[in-house]
């Protein structure tokens, strides 16, 4: 069994509690200090980019702020950075090392815009480049595949959303999430056995929508990194606009569908896919959805939808780790990857 | 042989010439009439979303306008549309029918923002919702997989970029593209035979960066729609942040790498992938890149990089069509798809 990755997955309730305790007040101060802005521009890669995708929903839905994802090549390779008038410029990076992400934040500062770094390393180049820094306090992440820093990034984005939103209830909901994660981790023991079924799976599809589109993207990346499965992630709407043609008999499709505003759209798609012969894996707290599944990734009930991605990724992390084990891959050391990736 | 798709692919030089002739003056008028805006928010799905991805590079690099991709679920399922202060709101849709895309443009209008529709149907709901409409003039697209409307959408975005940019040289470069497409189509005859090699390919990876990240995304969708291959598209930078772990001996990787500012970054990745045993397919005009490839998708030389996606997708369309034929699939009627997809 992978020791490091397993430890890091299981540390997530504590990491989350520590983050909220240590950074909560700072987040409120940053939000109070920021000048007005029309939209947020976020630069991020890999797992951090999936946290940015969560921000597209959480920040817009709770606070009305639209989010644009940056195109770092414009800064580093084309040398034609866009005009950033009216933007809050945000960089998200576990290591804070990737030059392309740092370049976007530096450009924001050069243009006189407010800048914010979200990173696990407060002494990194990214932290040095930004006006404001929120640290993840996740401890050193020793396994190559990011787990605890991903949920910590999501929680940081949720802290900012709650502070902008202003209602104490949102903050209270977030403070319950460490307990929710403990509950999730208490319900995943069957996944070690269930992963066996997918020993020879070579490709699969992951689908989420709204807040949990980020979960589909992140779980696809975990499967690629840890098991080398060709995993493709889609929103349910994008999936209907073309990729649905790839569904064949027995094709494994994992749907992230906790209770919430997008549930009925996801349920309709799940039913359609079952009719087409797909094998469904379902991450949900809803019995009607679980009943369609060959494999259930259980989620706890009554989690507010806006926070559900923090919980919904965790059974997927556990499934990916166990599938790596079933396939004979060392999940702590995926081939071809280092912990810190520097791209320009 | 598929008659409709083949006809539509071969019609692209004429469609492009017709579009520039019929909409050029209108595009200049729209650009002159638009009020100032800080960024563009684009709503699109499927192929149209890949055209929007091209706009992220073309509009920013030539005109400094940042581009955000909309999250329609915020409008249709969550009922929490973001504040669109300072935005130009753009909808791109071949049919102009999808309710989620229309909803974003309607919200832009409701908030008093300028709105623009890019569509092949000037009498569609999307066209009715927008202040300004640019029609693609591509004629009815009868094959389910979009080809001529994609290059027409790219050309429309390029027309807008050229008009904003103001230099007549950009416009002249664009007016040469119909001839460039004719040259591309004159060089693809070998692909019918070369497609045979991939008859039993089940998955593949597509990589582009900068302007041609859109090409990688669009070609992956063509392969999914036409051949049911599990095709995954990445930017070269995102690929290094995790998915590179999936590369195994013999894995087919198609790189879009015409001459330009991102070429050396792509070449480095191509060399790394060849060392790892991947089989390379290369769309390029550069001999050094072609020399690494098992299969070359030839591109004409001396196309300005900002317009290269209009040319670079075409050999891919031809390869996907021929691979469908080799696999015994009717490329005009992919399973599970209709020509018009309506999502909420």
Mean pLDDT of B187-200: 96
Whether A115 and A109 have beta carbons less than 8 Å apart is answered as: yes
CB spacing of A80 vs B60 below 8 angstroms: yes
Confidence bin at B241 (pLDDT 50/70/90): confident
Nearest chain B Cα to A144, which residue? B242
- Please give the C-alpha separations between residue A35 and each of A81, A111, A257, B229, in angstroms, as whole numbers: 22, 14, 37, 48
Query: Residue range A14-43: average pLDDT?
Result: 98
* Tens-digit pLDDT profile for residues A283-340: 999 999 999 999 999 999 999 999 999 999 999 999 999 999 999 999 998 888 888 8
Per residue in B312-324, pLDDT (tens digit) is 999 999 999 999 9
Distance, CA of A105 to CA of A107 (rounded, Å): 5
The residue whose two tokens read 């209602």 is A167
pLDDT in tens, B251-292: 999 999 999 999 999 999 999 999 999 999 999 999 999 999
Using CB atoms, which residue from A248, A265, A335 is nearest to B228? A248
Residues A336, B245: C-beta atoms closer than 8 Å:
yes
Closest-CA distance of chain A to residue B235, Å: 10
Distance CA(A36)–CA(B282), nearest Å, equals: 46
Q: How far is B74 from chain A (nearest CA, A)?
A: 7
Rounded to two decimals, the pTM is 0.96
Per the prediction, chain A carries an average pLDDT of: 96
Q: Which residue of A has its CA nearest to B41?
A: A68
Supply the pLDDT for residue B2: 55
Note whether B68 contacts A73, CB cutoff 8 Å. no
Averaged pLDDT, A210-230? 96
Q: Which residues in chain A are closer than 8 Å to B80, comparing Cβ atoms?
A: 60-62, 64
Question: pLDDT tier at B140 (50, 70, 90 boundaries)?
Answer: very high
Cβ-Cβ contacts under 8 Å, B334 against chain A: 245
Tell me: the pLDDT tens digits for A127-157?
999 999 999 999 999 999 999 999 999 999 9
Alpha helices by DSSP H, listed for chain A, are: 3-10, 12-33, 47-63, 73-76, 99-110, 125-129, 148-165, 168-175, 177-186, 191-194, 213-227, 236-240, 263-275, 287-290, 308-327
Half-sphere exposure of B287 (CA within 13 A, CB side): 0
Rounded Cα–Cα distance for residues B339 and B145 (Å): 8
ipTM for this prediction: 0.94
How many CB pairs lie under 8 A apart between chains A and B? Answer: 209
- Cα gap A184→A311, rounded to integer Å: 7
How many helices (H) does chain B have, and how many strands (E)? Answer: 15, 10
Across the interface, do A45 and B241 touch by the CB < 8 Å criterion? yes
Question: What is B96-164 written as a DSSP string?
Answer: S--HHHHHHHHHHHHTT--EEEEES-TTSHHHHH-SEEEE-------SSS-SHHHHHHHHHHHHHHHHH
Which pLDDT does position A336 carry in this prediction?
80
Q: Of A62, A82, A98, which is closest to B66 when you measure between CB atoms?
A: A82
Which residue among B56, B80, B334 places its CB closest to the CB of A245?
B334
Q: How far is A163 from chain B (nearest CA, A)?
A: 17
Q: Which of B75, B82, B309 to substitute to test the interface with A, most A CBs within 10 Å?
A: B82
Flag whether pLDDT at B1 surpasses 60.
no
Query: Do residue A238 and residue B46 have CB atoms under 8 angstroms apart?
Result: yes
User: Considering only alpha carbons, which residue of chain B is nearest residue A229?
Assistant: B246
Give contacts of A84 with chain B, Cβ < 8 Å. 66
At residue B93 the predicted structure's pLDDT band, cuts being 50, 70 and 90, is very high
Nearest to B336 among A39, A80, A244 (CB): A244
Predicted confidence at residue B342, as pLDDT, reads 87
Partner residue facing B41 (CB), from A45, A66, A244: A66
CATH architecture of B182-326: 3-Layer(aba) Sandwich (3.40)
How far does Cα A45 stand from its chain's mean position? 11
Beta pairing class for A295-298 and A279-284: parallel
Q: How much is the pLDDT for A152?
A: 98
Rounded distance, CA A313 to CA B39, Å?
A: 32
Q: What is the pLDDT of residue A2?
A: 55
Q: How far is CA A34 from the centre of its chain?
A: 25
pLDDT on residue B94: 97
* Fold (CATH) for B3-175: Rossmann fold (3.40.50)
H/E run at residue B58: helix B47-63
pLDDT given at position A1 = 54
* A5, A36, A39, A263, best to mutate vs chain B, most B CBs in 10 Å: A39
pLDDT digits 0-9 by tens, A251-272: 999 999 999 999 999 999 999 9
Tell me the shortest Cα–Cα distance from B207 to chain A, in angstroms. Answer: 14
Model confidence band, residue B156 (pLDDT cutoffs 50, 70, 90) = very high
| Cβ-defined contact of B245 to A71 (cutoff 8 Å) | no
Ramachandran region of residue B91, left (φ > 0), alpha (ψ -120 to 50) or beta? beta
User: Which of B69, B203, B236 has its CB closest to that of A203?
Assistant: B203
The CA distance from A328 to the nearest CA of chain B, in Å, is 15
Say whether B182-326 and B3-175 share the same fold.
Answer: yes
- Write the pLDDT tens digit of every residue in B203-223: 999 999 999 999 999 999 999
Q: Where along chain B do its domains lie?
A: 3-175, 182-326
Dihedral, CA of residue B210, residue A156, residue B37 and residue B99, to nearest 10: 80
- Which of B241, B262, B343 has its CB closest to that of A77? B262
Q: In terms of CA atoms, which chain B residue is nearest residue A42? A: B68
Tokens found for residue B295:
């299969």
pLDDT confidence band for A344 (50 / 70 / 90): confident
Which conformational region is residue B96 in: left (phi greater than 0), alpha (psi within -120 to 50 degrees), or beta? Answer: left
- pLDDT by residue (tens digit) across B287-313? 999 999 999 999 999 999 999 999 999
pLDDT for residue B95 is more than 80: yes
Residues from chain B contacting residue A240 (CB–CB below 8 Å)? 341, 343
E strand or H helix that includes residue A112:
none
Selected residue of A37, A84, A246, A333 to mutate for chain B interface (largest B Cβ count, 10 A) = A246
Task: Please name the residue that has the structure tokens 């100032």.
Answer: B36
| A300/chain B closest Cα distance in angstroms | 22
């Amino acid at each position: 069994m992978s020791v490091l990755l397993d430890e890091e997955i299981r540390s997530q309730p504590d990491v989350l509690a520590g983050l909220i305790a240590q950074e909560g007040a700072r987040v409120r101060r940053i939000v109070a200090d920021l000048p007005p802005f029309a939209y947020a521009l976020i630069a991020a890669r890999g797992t951090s980019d999936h946290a940015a995708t969560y921000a597209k929903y959480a920040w817009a839905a709770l606070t009305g702020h639209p989010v644009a994802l940056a195109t770092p090549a414009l800064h580093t390779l084309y040398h034609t950075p866009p005009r950033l008038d009216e933007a809050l410029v945000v960089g998200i990076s576990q290591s804070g090392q990737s030059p392309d992400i740092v370049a976007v934040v530096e450009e924001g500062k050069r243009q006189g815009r407010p800048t914010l770094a979200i990173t696990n390393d407060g002494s990194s180049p990214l932290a040095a480049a930004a006006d404001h820094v929120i640290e993840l306090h996740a401890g050193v992440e020793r396994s190559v595949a990011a787990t605890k820093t991903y949920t910590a990034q999501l929680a940081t984005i949720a802290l900012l959303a709650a502070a902008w939103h202003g209602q104490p209830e949102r903050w209270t909901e977030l403070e319950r999430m460490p307990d929710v994660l403990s509950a999730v981790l208490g319900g995943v023991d069957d996944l070690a056995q269930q992963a066996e079924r997918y020993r020879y799976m070579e490709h699969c599809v992951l689908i989420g929508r709204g807040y949990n589109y980020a979960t589909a993207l992140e779980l696809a990346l975990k499967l690629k990194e840890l098991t080398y499965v060709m995993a493709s992630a889609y929103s349910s709407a994008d999936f209907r606009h073309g990729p649905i043609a790839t569904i064949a008999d027995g094709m494994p499709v994992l749907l992230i569908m906790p209770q919430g505003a997008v549930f009925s759209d996801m349920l309709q798609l799940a039913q359609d896919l079952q009719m087409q012969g797909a094998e469904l894996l379902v991450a949900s707290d809803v019995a009607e959805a679980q009943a369609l599944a060959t494999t259930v990734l259980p989620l706890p009930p009554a989690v507010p939808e806006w926070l559900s991605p923090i919980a919904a990724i965790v059974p997927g992390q556990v499934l990916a780790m166990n599938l790596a084990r079933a396939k004979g891959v060392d999940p702590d050391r995926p081939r071809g990857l280092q912990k810190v990736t520097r791209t320009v």
